[in-house]
Amino acid sequence: MTDAASGSPQPLLERALAVIEAVVDAGAPVGPRGLARVVGIDRSAVGRILQQMTELDVFEKEPAGYVAGPRLYGIARLLAALDNLPDAARNVLDDLVARYNETSYVSLLHGDAAVYLYESPSSNPLRFVVELGRPVPLHAGAAGRAILSGLSPETARDLLGSGPLESLTTATIVAVDELLELAAADRARGYSISLEERVEGGAAIGAPFFDHSGQCRGSVVFTTPLSRLDRAMIDEQGAAVASAAATLSARLGFK
């Protein structure tokens, strides 16, 4: 839709946003006349916006006026959940480090990559370090493969492409079909494990976490130098990482 005078959609979008903000700010049912006074828009234009937003479930019409609708509340819940992510991530990571004293991370799915955003460091002088904010490929390492396990096979294949994929170490898995099979096995087990698949000398265990809509948002990742990995404890540590990811999911509204 465009503005008749300018040919630009911006004025109409600005008006719609102004009406949404005014309805939310009102905190009670409000009608077109009151909204027109608040936002400084012609009453008939406000009425059209209200009608369109009601059809989209952004608003609901009550006898006394308009109020926020289910779609607007859904957006609010999502934003509130995402706003909780830093604190929730810090709590689950600190718990993992307190238990095993190995550096742990939360990574987020961003496009076709994983981005490490939150860290709780080990006190060991030798530890696995990842640069925060730098994208890493989904096919190499536990962070990415845990995310793949949290996605549908169709979505995972779309993100990976047709392959072959870039080999970062001699242990990197570059065949898409093999990665999808491993992701399915990881999904059944509850966690992914990587031994030098992204960085030589590094080991990691990851599990996916989900938002309120059931969408995989990223992964919780436990890291350690391979030389310090106790293979007899992998199942215990994997269960701990999966539990941490489930706790994070619950904090984001996933049921």
**Domain chopping of the chain, boundaries:** 10-77, 84-251
**pLDDT of amino acid 187:** 97
Side chain identity, residue 120: S
- What pLDDT score does 52 carry? 92
**Residue 109 has which token pair?**
């799915």
pLDDT for 2 equals: 39
Residue 190 is encoded by which pair of tokens? 């509850």
Distances (CA, A) of 213 to 80, 89, 181, 183, 216: 13, 18, 25, 21, 9
In 48-165, where do the E strands start and end?
Answer: 59-62, 65-68, 104-110, 113-120, 135-137
Predicted pLDDT at 184: 96
Residue from 189, 202, 184, 196 nearest 239 by CA? 189
Report whether 212 contacts 81 (CB < 8 A): yes
Topology of domain 10-77, CATH: Arc Repressor Mutant, subunit A (1.10.10)
Q: How, if at all, do strands 104-110 and 113-120 pair?
A: antiparallel
Q: Which fold has domain 84-251?
A: Beta-Lactamase (3.30.450)
Which whole-number Å values give the CA distances from 124 to 98, 128, 224, 225, 253, in the listed order? 12, 10, 10, 10, 34
Q: What is the pLDDT of residues 147-160, one digit of tens each?
A: 999 999 999 999 99
| Rounded distance between C-alpha atoms, residue 208 and residue 151, angstroms | 9
Name the residue among 146, 241, 238, 139 with its Cα closest to residue 198: 139
pLDDT tens-place values along the chain, 255 residues long: 334 444 444 578 888 999 998 998 888 899 999 999 999 988 999 999 999 999 999 999 999 999 999 888 877 766 666 667 888 899 999 999 999 999 999 999 999 999 999 999 999 998 888 889 889 999 999 999 999 999 999 999 999 998 789 999 999 999 999 999 999 999 999 999 999 999 999 999 999 999 888 999 999 999 999 999 999 999 999 999 999 999 999 988 887
Model pLDDT for residues 203-218, shown as the tens digit of each residue: 999 999 998 889 999 9
Which H or E run includes 208?
A: strand 202-210
Instruction: Give the pLDDT score at 72.
Output: 87
